[in-house]
Amino acid sequence: MIGSREKLSAEQFKYYLRKIGSGEGTSKGLSRDESSEALKLILDSKATPAQIGAFMIAHRIRRPEPQELVGMLDVYKELGPILNSKEGQLQPICFGIPFDGRSKTSPLYPLTALVLLANNQPVVLHGGRRMPIKYGVTTQELFKALGVDLSGLSLNQVQSGFYQNNFALIHQPDHFPLADSLISYRDQIGKRPPIASMELLWTGHQGEHLLVSGFVHPPTEDRAWKVLEMAGETNAITVKGLEGSTDLPISRACITSQIKQSKRQRLILHPRDHDCYGQDPAWKDIDLWKNDALDALKNKGPLVKSLQWNVGTYLWLSGHSKTLQDAINQAQASIVSGSADEVLSRLIKWRDTFD
């Protein structure tokens, strides 16, 4: 039997549902505060399952407006996990990667993270378990294949590991179960809900950082920049990456944008100009990826050229080198020296202390 408080919440949610789902000519976007309240009602299960599903698909059809995504970000920042840098620690790169994973191209970002760490660049990643609609391979699975199981850790352990290793994965099932509870709805509606767009722009890291967000379509990028501005993210990069990720392709020009001197600047980067042009490696299975990944850390195999390009670009964009070519040379030197392989070994030893 539904109590009076639950009835009140369900009635309140009806207002938000009617506002966005009343039809092509009459539906309206929610305000920032209304969007926040709607998401809180969803996460707290105060809205009914029928209401939640209807809200997600209605929002998907009409497309969320920037202030609505900012309202959702507000909720994640309020209710989600929080990670901090210690005094004197360089600002991290926080990669916004699709939570539903990868299924067509080989992921580079775990290897990119290791080489960045070898260059004293902190990295923060976010992700969860396999989820709709892609059910692609996840960050946790990729690192586990390399020997580092980043699941099952408390947030305090992740925080201490970030202080010690400059590296953290905020893992949704372990650190944000409220958000993880929405996976069944994502599966049932069969489409990415607006919350998936927001996840690309969210980081649990508080304080100064460089936020990198992947996108697929130009309208999505334009909306992302409006959201970032409203949310107060002053140091950000958007990337037209592989499958909407932050992995830069080597088969085509890389379309990126960055905030500099409070202005958004378009950067078109050409791998051909830096001897990094080639085919983007295809995803096959995790066992083959593991072999290719470990080879790449030893400067061999099909992922090396992509790895050099990605690490070099992010070293340059984060201010480690004056020119892109210098940064690519720095990336190559790090891989050849074996320092990234050493970083992986240290992470494995650190994780083993919790078993």
Separation between Cα atoms, residue 29 and residue 283, nearest integer Å = 38
**86-349 CATH choice from 3.40.640.10, 3.40.1030.10, 3.30.43.10, 1.10.10.10:** 3.40.1030.10
Q: Yes or no: say if 239 and 215 are a contact pair by the CB < 8 Å rule.
A: yes
pLDDT score, position 25: 59
Question: Could you report the per-residue pLDDT of 280-330, keeping only the tens digit for each?
Answer: 999 999 999 999 999 999 999 999 999 999 999 999 999 999 999 999 999
pLDDT score, position 9: 82
Q: Tokens standing for 186?
A: 């994502």
Residue 7 pLDDT grade (very low, low, confident, very high; cuts 50, 70, 90): low
Residue 216 pLDDT grade (very low, low, confident, very high; cuts 50, 70, 90): confident
> pTM of the full predicted structure?
0.94
Q: Which residues contact 300 (CB under 8 A, 6 or more apart)?
A: none
Q: Could you tell me the end-to-end alpha-carbon distance of the chain, in angstroms, rounded to an integer?
A: 44
Question: Looking up tokens 């990605």, which residue turns up?
Answer: 310
- Could you write out the DSSP letters of every residue in 31-85? PHHHHHHHHHHHHTT-S-HHHHHHHHHHHHHH---HHHHHHHHHHHHHHS--EEP
For residues 335-351, average pLDDT: 97
Q: Over the chain, what is the mean pLDDT?
A: 93
Q: Which residues contact 103 (CB under 8 A, 6 or more apart)?
A: 134, 135, 136, 137, 243, 283
Separation between Cα atoms, residue 18 and residue 128, nearest integer Å = 31
Question: Could you report the per-residue pLDDT of 78-90, keeping only the tens digit for each?
Answer: 999 999 999 999 9
pLDDT score, position 50: 93
Please state the φ and ψ torsions of residue 252, each to the nearest 5 degrees: -155, 170
**Element holding 191 (H helix, E strand):** none
Q: Which of 5-14, 118-127, 206-215, 271-280 has the lowest mean pLDDT?
A: 5-14
pLDDT score, position 21: 83
Beta bridge partners of 214: 239
- Collapsed DSSP state (helix, strand, coil) of residue 199: helix
Amino acid at the residue 278 = G
Given a cut of 60, whether residue 276 has pLDDT beyond it is yes
For residues 158-183, average pLDDT: 97
pLDDT more than 90, % of the chain: 86
- Higher per-residue confidence, 6 vs 144: 144
For residues 20-43, average pLDDT: 87
Question: Could you report the per-residue pLDDT of 197-209, keeping only the tens digit for each?
Answer: 999 999 999 999 9
Beta bridge partners of 269: 254
Structural domain boundaries of the chain?
4-62, 86-349
- Could you write out the DSSP letters of every residue in 135-185? --B-HHHHHHHTT---SS--HHHHHHHHHHHSEEEEEHHHH-HHHHTTHHH
pLDDT score, position 2: 44
Q: Is the link from the previous residue into 250 a cis peptide, with omega within 30 of 0?
A: no
